[in-house]
A and B are shown apart, each in its own frame.
Chain A
Amino acid sequence: MNEDTQTVTPETLMQLRKNQPRFEGLESGHRACLGCGEALAARLVTEAAGPDVMIANATGCLEIFTTPWPESAWRLPWMHSLFENTGAIAAGMEAALKAQGKPTKVLAFAGDGGTFDIGFQSLSGMLERGHNVLFVCFDNEAYMNTGIQSSSSTPHAAMTTTSPPGSARMGKQNLKKDILSIVAAHHIPYAATASVAYPSDLRKKIRRAMEIEGPTFIQIHSPCPLGWGHDGADSIKVARLAVQTGLFPVIELESREMIGSMPIRNPKPVTDYLVLQQRFRHLFQQGDVRAIEELAHIQALADHNIKHFKLRGEGMDAQDSDGADTVCRGGMRWA
């Protein structure tokens, strides 16, 4: 470190980079947008899962921005599958490793398109056959890579290029698919949701899934500044509000039963979350009665989540929506 100029030399930086006190499966220099929630989620996942893992990665943003030919941001064995066959590829990798007697865990990475829609059939097969694979869905609620088309994960009333608001409709008409229940219905041992806004909770769940022999599934809510239309600096804020409003329930299922949830200490109004995002801007148009109705509808969905998943906290809890991201001097996070 050069004190005179108060700058850090490239050599020192590289030395530091090599000696970071955590495992980094995803290296810098990838081409994700500013404030990308998915890039952060992928790094957090590999940090908790690595280093003895192999990845099958569906087509999508994550695949594109981490591997601009001939470079790779991955510091792990990584394979690009097609959009539709990540489950099958991961199952094959797992079977091959098993045959060789190797303990390496296989991870399957896919976006919401590769999980909810296009890759769903092979995912279902993989789950049904009981492969020892951790399937991670980076849920950014639309086909961001191809130009923000609606997926079955896109929430109700959101604007995408295939669900534009106008005289006929107010954004996407249908509801966000409850993928966690569908996945859990395959009788798998562990399925959970997590959010990039709560990294300790996310890492804890990855570690939990890594310990389990058999198919496991984690859905990570990952804001997309470009597709959702918010400032990259607000990615964490937006993700946190999705949890705090009740729109994205953070829960854990074991054998189809809910065994845990992140309680919400003080539920926030959904407008706090929606107003930060351009994809919901038509809901804030003055004098449009449909907008008022849609806002009420989304609030009702959040209230329903809170009731259905019993998310309302009882007083202060160190692991609730306000306590789970508490920091302290020295950086000792709880997970």
Chain B
Amino acid sequence: MESKLTRGGFAYPGTTLVYKTGSWRIQRPVHTHRNAPCHSACPAGEDPQAYLALLDEDKPREAWELLVSINPLPAITGRVCPHPCESVCNRGQYDEPLAIHSIERYLGDQALAKNWAYPVSPAAENAPHVAVVGAGPAGLASAYHLIRHGLQVTVFDELSEAGGTLFTIPDYRLPREIVRKEIERLLDTGISFKSRHKLGREIHLPELQQEYAAVFLAPGVMKSNEWSVDGVTPYDLHEGLHLLKQWSDVASLPAMKSAAVIGGGNTAIDIARILNRNGVDTHIVIHSSLPDPDKPAADDMRAIPREIEQALEEGVQIHDHHGVKRLILRGEKLTGIEILRMRKLPDEEGRLHRVAFEGTESILHVDQVIPAIGQVVDAAGMETLLDGKSYFSVDDWGQIEGKENIYAGGDAVEGNGGTVTEAIGNGRIAAEAIAAKLRQQQLPTINKSEPVHFNSLNMEYFEPSSRVEQVILSVEERTCETEIEGGISGLQAAHEANRCFACGNCLRCDNCWTLCPDSAVLKTNEVTFDGSFYVFDYDYCKGCGLCASECPTGYISMVNE
């Protein structure tokens, strides 16, 4: 209302709304969506805080749908992922990190139990067709994301069943019926699956290139690295991955009383635990170190720390910082190995190399030595792409360097950590790139911004709350078949979701709205363009910064006018 001065000092009353205190401001508050640490750390690209938010609102199905819009195999990764998300969870600096892997597994299992349909529709008949080679996690994830992008997909695999390396993970970690169920549901989204099609045998790369708009290669690493000690091997040498496959296929192992597994990756741990369960006196010999939270992880064994811990509990003997010096043979039959201590030390130029220490030799009396020292890509049918290398070299989007429309992902790619989750991430990213390419669109930008630091959160607004732990079978109860870790209940999942800080995102807690001295924060009924439930009224905001300092999640920041 306009104020009007008349005789006698009378004026029409007006509210102070006519006076825009916003002109005082030198800094303005803005909503800044920032990556939660869990999101930045996830090799698959999940944003756990986002689906935890939905679960916290008692929308488990929507939570699952959001989860599978990134990772279509949550029941599997919820069991086997080493969950780097939890190591970086900001809540870990307050009390205990969120049990994200338990939630992921819970949502995955709920979808299996309730048969929730994947939120995708099959591609149109005239949509471009993409070939995927290899039906492991990378291949399946890429196929699913290609379907999501409205493309047709055919997945080829040399085996009779889709799943790839997932089936070499022992049942006590990942029950095969879970793998089968989840993959079956995934294939039902419209993925065409051709089993017993091996590259270089039934199918050939040039034909695929001709017949399909793009090719995604996820063949895994099927060829074991050669292993010997000074050129010597026992005549009955069994390789770790081969034994795991044999165990997985026919549930039997060669007769042995004692064994030394050479290597420190997940294959080494898995086969050692299975041998141990079958009554074999099992040793692991590894030149790197056991994980120790107090020491830098640079030289740690590559296996998941949780699995190493369980293997030790079960009685597997791990000789860390040891290498094999000599095989002790009677004829060609092994009767023992001589091991000695080793350390990784810098040389004159500062490069690390392994040094064996004379005088530390000891004998392990074992009748089998089982190398599990890693595998490389089986080049059959892809010789031109590998060019003599052990792995594929790809760019940020999974495209094989210098090869148009050929992408690769999973363990076959150079520098990969060899986890299921990373393979799924590779598949998704390549699918995004393929879809953009085929539609002649720009590639989406990769958000590599710094995740929200613990210091930008306001801990005054949270209460300590204990982390939900899965039930773990005692060592005596563990068998080869029964899953060691149990799932969590719906109530536990809800409790856990409620613990999430929602780092860098709007918690809709009303703090800014409640605490603004100038009523310059307005609450909205529906979610606003920036993903919050509040708008700043810059006509009146004086820029005091109270909302930013009291925002519990670091979602509000002050920027200069």
Contact = CB atoms under 8 A, between A and B. Distances in A.
Is the pairing of A and B real? yes
Interface of A: 1, 3, 6, 8, 10, 13, 16-17, 20-21, 24, 26-32, 34-37, 39-40, 43-44, 66, 68-73, 75, 199, 225, 231-237, 240, 316, 318, 322-323, 325-331, 333
Nearest to A328: B509
Chain B binding surface, main DSSP class:
loop
Given A40-B517, A70-B3, A72-B15, A236 B546 contact: yes
B535 A323 contact: no
Contacts of B13: 70-72
B307 interface: no
A232 B502 CA distance: 26
Nearest to A75: B15
Interface stretch (B67-75, B272-280, B457-465): B457-465
A325 B460 contact: yes
Contacts of A1: 528-529
Contacts of B552: 327
Contact of A70 (B11, B515, B539): B11
A28 B546 contact: no
Given A28-B21, A325-B460, A199 B544 contact: no
B550 A24 contact: no
Query: Which 7 A-B residue pairs are closest in the complex by CB-CB distance?
Result: A29-B16, A233-B545, A331-B510, A70-B11, A327-B509, A34-B544, A28-B540
B24 A34 contact: yes
A323 B18 contact: no
Contacts of A27: 15-17, 519
Given A24-B519, A329-B57, A233 B15 contact: no
Interface in B1-58: 3, 11-21, 24, 53, 56-57
A20 B515 CA distance: 15
Contacts of A326: 461-463
A10 B539 CA distance: 9
A199 B464 contact: no
Given A13-B539, A17-B537, A330 B20 contact: no
B543 interface: yes
A35 B15 contact: no
Given A35-B546, A40-B515, A8 B535 contact: yes
A331 B552 CA distance: 12
Contacts of B539: 10, 13, 28
B517 A37 contact: yes
Given A35-B546, A72-B15, A72-B16, A43 B463 contact: no
Contacts of A16: 522-524, 535
B520 interface: yes
B56 A329 contact: yes
A16 to B, nearest CB: 4
Given A28-B520, A40-B515, A34 B548 contact: no
Interface in B501-546: 502, 507-511, 513-520, 522-524, 528-530, 535, 537, 539-540, 542-546
A28 B515 contact: no
Contacts of B510: 327, 331, 333
Contacts of B544: 34-36, 225, 232-233, 235
Nearest to A44: B514
10 contacts: A8-B528, A27-B17, A35-B544, A39-B517, A39-B518, A72-B15, A326-B463, A329-B56, A330-B509, A331-B508
B154 interface: no
Nearest to B21: A29
A147 B522 CA distance: 33
Nearest to B548: A233
A318 B462 CA distance: 11
Contacts of A31: 16, 19, 21
B549 interface: yes
Given A69-B11, A323-B463, A328 B522 contact: no
B498 interface: yes
A84 to B, nearest CB: 25
A331 B521 CA distance: 14
B535 A316 contact: no
Given A35-B517, A36-B544, 20 more contacts: A13-B522, A16-B523, A20-B522, A32-B518, A35-B544, A37-B517, A66-B16, A69-B11, A71-B3, A71-B13, A73-B15, A75-B15, A199-B515, A225-B544, A327-B461, A327-B509, A328-B498, A328-B507, A329-B53, A329-B507
B18 A29 contact: yes
A70 B463 CA distance: 47
B16 A28 contact: yes
Contacts of A68: 16, 19
Nearest to A231: B545
Given A28-B21, A326-B462, A34 B57 contact: no
B17 A199 contact: no
B553 to A, nearest CB: 10
Contacts of A231: 545
A327 B510 CA distance: 8
A330 B57 contact: yes
Contacts of B517: 32, 35-37, 39-40, 43, 235
Contact of A322 (B18, B24, B463, B528): B463
Contacts of A331: 508-510, 513
Contacts of B530: 6
A30 B545 CA distance: 17
Interface in B454-486: 460-464
Contacts of B546: 35, 232-233, 235-236
B79 to A, nearest CB: 28
Contacts of A333: 510, 514
A40 B558 CA distance: 20
A234 B549 contact: yes
A325 B514 CA distance: 11
A325 B517 CA distance: 17
A34 B544 CA distance: 5
| Most-contacted residue by chain A among B15, B20, B464 (CB, 10 A) | B15
Interface in B207-262: none
Contacts of A37: 517
A330 B18 CA distance: 32
B545 A232 contact: yes
B58 to A, nearest CB: 11
